[in-house]
């Protein structure tokens, strides 16, 4: 969370009375000549030592780091990397704020806390999960918009020229018109999520039959239970094993009785957020 000396703010550290109190403390620090860098441990459980004033349970360590003109090159490097999709690692210590564009393989977040003045914080920035959305219709548009706002990297495919929803999709980071018979040639990221939502059964099946044996992080297909039952029955007769078919998330999305494209996009986003958190936990 950034707090400027004119009291403007961007971001959040959790909201509520805890955030309000710490922001007020930050505003006071900004009025001093040389604000210190330090970490503050917060315990969310009533009025105890290091208590935040909240009763929701849990703990939190908040780092206060005063950015100065000296840190501007690092900030500019972070902005540039985020804009151009380049991953890097942010590192903050009591005496250092730096960004490395070519970090070694590391966890998404990592910190050590010994005391208010002895700590380190590391975060991999712009390590975005790629989502291949195959189908540029209304659900593809709504899903692109929502997932892009949640920090996913969206690559959109369709096989129809002059499709209004495809052309109006300004949220996908990449858009490609392709021949679905060769969709496998375009799905090169082995850690990507594949979300199939073409406009008809034959294209869904054509794409899915290729994607099943392409390395991926997650594979889901949109459709009614009746359509998917028929599709799986046909794929089974074509030689795909029950184990292969069991790994497909069909229908894609959490079961929230969604009907409209925006509601379907929410159900898909919720499922992928859960997946992303699980991946972060295990890496």
Over the stretch 94-128, which tens digit does the pLDDT of each residue have? 999 999 887 666 677 888 888 878 889 998 887 68
Which segment, 18-27, 178-187, 270-279, is predicted with the most confidence on average? 178-187
Using pLDDT thresholds of 50, 70 and 90, give the confidence band for residue 45: low
Residue 54 has pLDDT above 90, yes or no: no
Measured distance between the N- and C-terminal CA atoms of the chain, rounded to whole angstroms: 25
Over the stretch 266-277, which tens digit does the pLDDT of each residue have? 999 999 999 988
Q: Which has the higher per-residue pLDDT, 57 or 199? A: 199
Q: What's the confidence (pLDDT) of residue 183?
A: 96
Could you tell me which CATH number the domain at 130-282 has? 3.40.50.720
Residue 44 has pLDDT above 80, yes or no: no
Over the stretch 6-20, which tens digit does the pLDDT of each residue have? 889 998 888 877 888
- Distance between CA atoms of residues 176 and 61, nearest Å: 44
Q: What's the confidence (pLDDT) of residue 18?
A: 80
DSSP the chain: -EE-TTS-EES-SS-HHHHHHHHHHHHHHHTSSSPPPEEEEEE-SSSSTTB-S--S--EEEEEE----GGGHHHHHHHHHHHHHT--EEEEEETTEEEEESSPPS--SEEEEEEETTEEEEEEEES-PPEEEEE--SHHHHHHHHHHHHTTPEEEEEES-TT-HHHHT--S-SEEEE--GGGGGGG---TT-EEEE--SSHHHHHHHHHHHTTS--SEEEE---HHHHHHHHHHHHHTT--HHHHHTSBSS-S--S---SHHHHHHHHHHHHHHHHHHHHHH-
Residues facing residue 120 across a β-bridge: 112
Residues of the chain with CATH 3.40.50.720: 130-282
């Amino acid at each position: 969370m950034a707090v400027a000396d004119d009291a403007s703010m961007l971001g959040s550290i959790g909201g509520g009375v805890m955030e309000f109190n710490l922001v007020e403390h930050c505003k006071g620090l900004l009025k001093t000549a040389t604000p210190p860098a330090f970490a503050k441990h917060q315990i969310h459980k009533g009025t105890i030592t290091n208590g935040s004033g909240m009763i929701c349970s849990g703990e939190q360590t908040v780092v206060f780091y005063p950015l100065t003109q000296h840190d501007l090159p690092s900030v500019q490097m972070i902005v540039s990397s985020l804009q151009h999709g380049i991953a890097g690692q942010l590192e903050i210590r009591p005496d250092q704020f730096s960004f490395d564009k070519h970090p070694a393989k590391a966890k998404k977040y990592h910190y050590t806390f010994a005391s208010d003045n002895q700590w380190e914080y590391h975060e991999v920035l712009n390590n975005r999960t790629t989502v291949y959305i195959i189908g540029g219709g209304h659900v593809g548009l709504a899903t692109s918009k929502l997932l892009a706002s949640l920090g996913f990297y969206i690559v959109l495919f369709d096989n129809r020229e002059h499709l209004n929803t495809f052309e109006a999709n300004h949220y996908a980071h990449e858009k490609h018109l392709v021949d679905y018979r060769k969709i496998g040639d375009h799905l090169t990221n082995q850690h990507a999520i594949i979300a199939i939502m073409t406009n008809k059964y034959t294209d869904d099946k054509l794409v899915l039959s290729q994607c099943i044996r392409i390395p991926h992080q997650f594979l889901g297909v949109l459709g009614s239970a009746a359509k998917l039952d028929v599709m799986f029955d046909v794929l089974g007769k074509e030689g795909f094993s029950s184990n292969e078919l069991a790994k497909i998330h069909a229908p894609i999305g959490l079961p929230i009785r969604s009907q409209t494209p925006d509601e379907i996009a929410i159900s898909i986003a919720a499922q992928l957020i859960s997946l992303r958190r699980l991946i972060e936990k295990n890496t």
